[in-house]
Amino acid sequence: VNGHSGTQPVNPINRKKLASWVGFSNLPNQVHRRSMRRGFNFTAMVVGESGLGKSTLINTLFETKLYEPKQIPAPGVDRGRTVQIESISADIEENGVRLKLTVVDTPGFGDFVNNDESWRPIVDNIEARFDAYLEQENRVNRLKLVDNRVHACIYFIQPTGHSLKPIDIEFMRRLHTKVNLIPVIAKADTLTEEEVVLSKRRVLADIAHHGIRIFQPPQYENEDEETIQENEEIISKVPFAVVGSDNIVRSPNGREVRGRAYPWGVIEVDNEEHCDFVKLRQMLVRTHMEELREHTNDILYENYRTDKLKAMGVSQDESVFKETNPAAKQAEERALHEAKLAKMEAEMKMVFQQKVQEKEQKLKQSEEELYARHREMKEALEKQRLDLEDKKRRVESGRPLTPEKGTKKRFGIGK
In the bound complex, what is the minimum distance in angstroms from residue 246's beta carbon to ligand GTP? 8
Query: Which of 54, 281 has the CB closer to ligand GTP?
Result: 54
**Residues in 184-203 that interact with ligand GTP by CB under 6 A:** 187, 189-190
Among residues 43, 45, 47, 53, which is the contact residue for ligand GTP, using CB under 6 A? 53
Query: Which of 111, 358 has the CB closer to ligand GTP?
Result: 111
Helix or strand or coil: residue 177?
A: coil
Spatial CA neighbour of 174 closest among 141, 138, 127: 127
* CA-angle at 414, arms to 408 and 415, nearest 5°: 130
Within 13 Å and on the Cβ side, how many CA atoms surround 185? 29
* CA-angle at 341, arms to 337 and 342, nearest 5°: 115
**Residues in 243-302 that interact with ligand GTP by CB under 6 A:** 243-244, 260
For residue 12, what is the DSSP state?
Answer: P
Cα distance between residue 260 and residue 250, in whole Å: 9
103 sits near ligand GTP (criterion: CB under 6 A)? no
Spatial CA neighbour of 178 closest among 130, 136, 137, 138: 130
Cα distance between residue 370 and residue 381, in whole Å: 16
Query: Which of 129, 260 has the CB closer to ligand GTP?
Result: 260
In the bound complex, what is the minimum distance in angstroms from residue 176's beta carbon to ligand GTP? 21
In the bound complex, what is the minimum distance in angstroms from residue 184's beta carbon to ligand GTP? 10
Among residues 55, 102, 148, 296, which is the contact residue for ligand GTP, using CB under 6 A? 55
Query: Which of 183, 244 has the CB closer to ligand GTP?
Result: 244
Query: Which of 148, 245 has the CB closer to ligand GTP?
Result: 245
Query: Which of 18, 74 has the CB closer to ligand GTP?
Result: 74
Helix or strand or coil: residue 268?
A: strand
158 sits near ligand GTP (criterion: CB under 6 A)? no
In the bound complex, what is the minimum distance in angstroms from residue 49's beta carbon to ligand GTP? 7
Residue nearest to ligand GTP (CB): 53
The radius of gyration of the chain from alpha carbons, rounded to an integer in Å, stands at: 45
* Contact (CB, 8 A) for 104 and 153: no
Among residues 81, 286, 337, 343, which is the contact residue for ligand GTP, using CB under 6 A? 81
Q: How many residues form the binding site for ligand GTP (CB under 6 A)?
A: 17
Cα distance between residue 391 and residue 394, in whole Å: 5
Cα distance between residue 350 and residue 267, in whole Å: 87
Q: Which stretch binds ligand GTP (CB under 6 A): 4-12, 54-62, 173-181, 215-223?
A: 54-62
Among residues 40, 50, 85, 165, which is the contact residue for ligand GTP, using CB under 6 A? 50
In the bound complex, what is the minimum distance in angstroms from residue 88's beta carbon to ligand GTP? 12
Query: Which of 53, 217 has the CB closer to ligand GTP?
Result: 53
In the bound complex, what is the minimum distance in angstroms from residue 179's beta carbon to ligand GTP? 18
Helix or strand or coil: residue 292?
A: helix
Show the binding pattern over residues 21-40: x = contacts ligand GTP (CB under 6 A), - = does not: --------------------
* CA-angle at 40, arms to 35 and 41, nearest 5°: 160
Pairing outcome for strands 240-241 and 86-94: unpaired
Cα distance between residue 406 and residue 377, in whole Å: 24
Among residues 65, 70, 201, 255, which is the contact residue for ligand GTP, using CB under 6 A? 70
82 sits near ligand GTP (criterion: CB under 6 A)? yes
Cα distance between residue 18 and residue 144, in whole Å: 37
Q: Which stretch binds ligand GTP (CB under 6 A): 5-13, 46-54, 88-96, 300-308?
A: 46-54
Pairing outcome for strands 265-268 and 256-262: antiparallel
281 contacts: CB under 8 Å, gap ≥ 6: 61
Which residues in this chain contact ligand GTP in the complex, by CB under 6 A? Answer: 50-56, 70, 81-82, 108, 187, 189-190, 243-244, 260
